[in-house]
Amino acid sequence: MTFLDQLTGPGTTLTVELRPPRMDQTQAASIDAWFTMHEAVASLVAEGTPLFLTDGAVGAKEEENLHHLLTNLDPELQRDLVCPFLTTKHTLQYCQWYAARVVEAGCGGLTVLGGDKHVGPPRCVEHGHELRALIAERFPTLPLGGWANPHRDAARQVSFLTAADYHADFYLTQLVSHHDLPAVERFLAELDRQGVAMPGVFGVFFYRSGRKKTLQRLAEFFPVPVDGVVADFATGKTPERVCAESIRALEALGVRKFYVSNLQPELASAQLDGIRRELAALD
State the total domains in the chain: 1
Q: What is the mean pLDDT of residues 186-212?
A: 97
| CB-CB contact of 89 with 56 (8 Å) | yes
Instruction: Report, as an integer, the average pLDDT of 99-128.
Output: 89
Q: Which domain holds residue 244?
A: 3-282
Q: How confident is the model at residue 69 (pLDDT cuts 50, 70, 90)?
A: low
pLDDT computed for residue 83 by the predictor: 94
Write the pLDDT tens digit of every residue in 21-57.
766 667 777 778 778 888 888 899 889 999 999 886 5
- Residues 10-31: pLDDT tens digits? 999 999 999 877 666 677 777 7
Q: What share of the chain has pLDDT > 70, as a percent?
A: 94
Highest mean pLDDT, choosing among 21-35, 71-85, 157-171: 157-171
Residue 225 has pLDDT above 90, yes or no: yes
Q: Tell me what pLDDT residue 178 has.
A: 98
Q: Among 21-30, 45-54, 191-200, 237-246, whose mean pLDDT is lowest?
A: 21-30
CATH classification of the domain holding 111 = 3.20.20.220
Report the pLDDT value the prediction gives residue 60, as an integer from 0 to 100: 54
Average pLDDT over residues 206-211: 97
Mean pLDDT confidence for 250-271: 96
The residue that leads in pLDDT, 2 or 262, is 262
Question: What one-letter code names the amino acid at 26?
Answer: T
Compute the average pLDDT of residues 96-114.
93
